[in-house]
Chain A
């Protein structure tokens, strides 16, 4: 049990339990090593490669990049390659306002969408948590159910609703609220709607779980001590649901910032979001190094919220223990 395994560099010790046999220790180690190696190879190493390629030069070839260094050619070429490492692609990104604007607008769009999702999701989660205990599981299932239907389909459904001759405009025109069709499709408004709609379950679920497990006697205690219901909400309920608020916001913000399908289908060509820029850079322009650099910068932007999210997951796990 003391020698470190070569690949994952792990020493497996069960957190508690009886002394283990030799066979048992092999099984223990396999439990760790198999998923560990898989994630190392298919999750971590790919990021290293992305970073490496982002430092390479563009080439009109297949694959369309010139590797700055190639490990298979030995240590010498590695050193030579290291010398050729450059941040050319990053300079290119910094120099082109298109990318800069795309990053800014992605973050802003994601932030606004997150706030909107919170405003829409909180009353729903609150209502669910206050619903009779017998119907709560059903409500929970109804929130999760859309998540099981295709993301693409749910976004696609909004095209028919939002387009100028679409169902929303037909409805609004027929009841006489508007006289001219609203232009919603192919604007940022459509992206907000799309993101809020698609990611609403991610907002509602953590909010619900933090609100649901809250002891109702706390609210009663606040009222007993002289707090009217609205004040009690702001002084007790809301502060105590903050972990859920933060988790929900992160779960919406992080994927929304890199979203591709929603801006592509609902946002039209005039809206700018980095996920789509990356996709175009890769698929249309075939510029892999620049696409990689775009991805690295996006990751750097998202690293703080991602680490925050992981930290919260770990904390929740500790508490659940």
Chain B
């Protein structure tokens, strides 16, 4: 059986009609004065899910997180956690903990004091606190740094202290606000996997806010793509990439080529799309589009082939000129300007060290793709 993209783990309660969501946003709106940060938003997150809120800055994702933590109250609508309405419950009584973007480590306390802080608040006996702190330090591999102050730690170590502090209380939900934003690229990639392992190990529900799509794709079970205070799509990373719901989502996640046109005619499985210049392409995945509809055909660069001659077996082939080539090692990115003026981005994997069909700037070239390589978008 074929599947879209790749399957991360066998965990999909959202497909189970009997599964009860753990966190529910019901028609939540948040206004700051005239500014609408979150606009009539509904969302359901399941227990043990690693859920990512992805969007550009100002899209309302952080506000959503802060409402869950209790730092902001919704202007209207309600938020349920495990069936309980959270309205009116102050942040210090909510069974959720947050890892702050700035880490917010208390500068006047040592690492262990920072981790113990939340435990002391709930009046845990000292011996138990010591045990839990030691356990947390082990978890984040900072045993030898227990007595240090935050300013004596590296960025990555601080991040792990913040993490240890926020999971020390065993919250029902851990909220992470740009958890890896302050780390450099290499460290970020390592930490992504550490976070995933930690989530598995502790069996917690994670809600992470990020503007980094790669981060969201790597870590999350599902991603909610947000724009202007609304959710544009909630889906698994593979669905978001391979079956975006709208032009916005397709553009926001990864690179995409968009062919705008009209559905000329369609059969059960295929649709023929006519572009503005008259060029025609035959595609599948046209869903419920009807003839005459204005649509966009979205196709990812790696699903387009570039060649110097028109491939004999190609259903869809368009001619143009090589405008730019970027050699990235693992792959080569071609920018081809089609004869109707549209620029197309195509990336070809460098599976061998030598290539058979060398192309260079200003060469005539053909791009070709299969009918099921892209998706038709109506929104």
Interface residues of A (CB under 8 A from B): 215, 217-218, 220-228, 231-232, 235-236, 239-240
Contact = CB atoms under 8 A, between A and B. Distances in A.
A225 B91 CA distance: 8
B356 interface: no
A218 B104 contact: yes
Contacts of B70: 223-224
Contacts of B117: 222, 225, 227, 235
27 contacts: A215-B102, A217-B104, A218-B106, A220-B69, A220-B71, A220-B98, A220-B104, A221-B98, A221-B165, A222-B117, A223-B91, A224-B91, A224-B94, A224-B96, A224-B166, A225-B92, A225-B97, A225-B121, A225-B165, A225-B166, A226-B169, A227-B121, A228-B90, A231-B121, A235-B117, A236-B106, A240-B106
B96 to A, nearest CB: 8
A217 B100 contact: yes
Interface in B248-267: none
Contact of A217 (B102, B108, B169): B102
Given A225-B118, A225-B121, A225-B169, A240 B100 contact: no
B104 A223 contact: no
A317 to B, nearest CB: 18
B121 A226 contact: yes
B107 A223 contact: no
A232 B90 CA distance: 13
B18 interface: no
B122 interface: yes
Interface of B: 69-71, 90-94, 96-98, 100-102, 104, 106-108, 117-118, 121-122, 165-166, 169
Contacts of B90: 223, 228
A222 B100 CA distance: 11
Given A220-B104, A227-B92, 14 more contacts: A217-B100, A217-B102, A217-B104, A218-B107, A220-B91, A220-B98, A221-B100, A222-B92, A223-B92, A224-B69, A224-B70, A224-B91, A226-B169, A228-B92
Contacts of B92: 222-228, 232
B207 to A, nearest CB: 13
Nearest to B117: A225
A320 to B, nearest CB: 16
B102 A224 contact: no
A293 B100 CA distance: 58
A230 B334 CA distance: 61
Given A226-B92, A227-B121, A215 B108 contact: no
Nearest to B118: A225
B98 A224 contact: yes
A226 B96 CA distance: 10
A218 B121 CA distance: 15
Nearest to A228: B92
A225 to B, nearest CB: 3
Contacts of B98: 220-221, 224
Given A225-B165, A225-B169, A240-B107, A220 B121 contact: no
A149 B355 CA distance: 82
B204 to A, nearest CB: 15
A280 to B, nearest CB: 46
**Residue with the greatest number of chain A CB neighbours at <10 A, chosen from B92, B93, B94:** B92
Contacts of B100: 217, 220-221
B121 A221 contact: no
B107 A224 contact: no
B118 A226 contact: yes
A56 to B, nearest CB: 51
